Amino acid sequence: MKHKEINAWILERYILNELPNNRIKEIDRQLKEDPRLKKEIERLKISDKDILNQYPPASIVPQILSQYNYNTEKNRKEHVTGTRPVFFKRLAYASPAFALVLILLFLVFPFKRDNMDTTTQITLHDGNRIKGFELTEPNLIVYRKNNKDTELLKNGVMAKTGDLLQLAYESAREKYGVILSIDGNGTVTLHYPEKEDQSTILKKGKKVYLGSSYELDNALAFERFFFITSMSEINVANVLQQAKKLAHDFKRAKTNSIELVGSFKQTSVLILKGDEGGS
């Protein structure tokens, strides 16, 4: 039986499960009868895998977001004058593989531009990530609240006494976690769970904000936030004990990991404060 040709763009959407159910079922039926179609889908899957290996989302997405932020104001002005955004003009000159990555990011995986913070971070349609890509490493996020706005704080940014911070995490594949901070005075503060005897189980699948904000005190030099994760329940008291050992050494507390025995992952965000003379 001769079957109708299906263009590559439709097949890409089929692979990503982005087509209506009736269209997916139609292609499923055709696959059983048309070995050439099955071969073409396998070819596309291999091609997509090669492209994603060449341009891994973990490195390419931040570049795209950075370019988006850089051009936001410029693009807005160009829209007023009726010209096309610079970012999409440049897409025409990109290599085929890179162009496909951009097309998948901006067209196949829909996003919305509401709920942006003052750094113009993009909030995707599921509130966290681009659909189709699984976060593989746990992530700790620190925001600074300023009236009605929020600012994403990068590692090493300056802050001041009285700044109100909001912490959030993404658990990725990890099941349990502890969030704490060490300041320049050697003080260790537990943020998650709220008490030592509470469970360290993490919520999965999306960004999770901690229930309360944290106000920076007048401790000198820095505040460093740690996110310790594991696939099994964590002994909070033990983590705090080891964190206090690290906190005793001013210089190491700014750069070193907490020494823990077992299978743990650690990520941290360093916030610098005021006079660094103590370092």
Tens of each residue's pLDDT in the chain, 279 residues = 556 678 777 887 788 777 788 888 888 888 888 888 888 888 888 877 776 666 665 555 555 555 555 555 555 555 555 544 544 444 444 444 455 555 555 544 444 333 333 333 333 333 344 444 456 789 999 999 877 778 889 899 999 888 899 999 999 889 999 999 999 999 999 999 999 999 999 998 678 999 888 888 877 789 999 999 999 999 999 999 999 999 999 999 999 999 999 899 999 999 998 644 444
pLDDT at 156: 92
**Contact of 177 with 230, CB cutoff 8 Å:** yes
pLDDT at 259: 95
The gap from C-alpha 74 to its chain's centroid, in whole angstroms, comes to: 26
69 torsion bin: left (phi>0), alpha (psi -120 to 50), beta (else) = alpha
In terms of DSSP bridges, do strands 157-159 and 265-273 run parallel, antiparallel, or are they unpaired? parallel
Residue type, 172: A
pLDDT at 178: 98
CA neighbor of 68 nearest in space, from 46, 100, 49, 90: 90
Measured CA to CA, the distance from residue 232 to residue 221 in angstroms comes to: 34
The token pair at 204 is 């999965």
pLDDT at 9: 75
CA neighbor of 268 nearest in space, from 136, 153, 134: 153
Helix axis angle for 35-54 and 21-33, nearest 10°, is 120
**Contact of 129 with 149, CB cutoff 8 Å:** no
What does residue 232 show for φ and ψ, rounded to 5 degrees? -130, 165
**Contact of 31 with 41, CB cutoff 8 Å:** yes
CATH number of 139-273: 2.60.40
pLDDT at 94: 45
Q: Where are the beta strands (DSSP E) in the chain?
A: 111-112, 123-124, 139-146, 149-152, 157-159, 164-170, 176-183, 188-192, 208-209, 214-215, 221-230, 265-273
pLDDT at 42: 86
**Domain ranges (residues) in the chain:** 8-54, 57-124, 139-273
Q: What is the DSSP letter of 136?
A: -
- Distances in Å between the Cα of 214 and the Cα atoms of 91, 140, 183, 217 are 42, 15, 13, 9
The token pair at 82 is 């009726």
CA neighbor of 102 nearest in space, from 118, 115, 85: 85
pLDDT at 56: 60
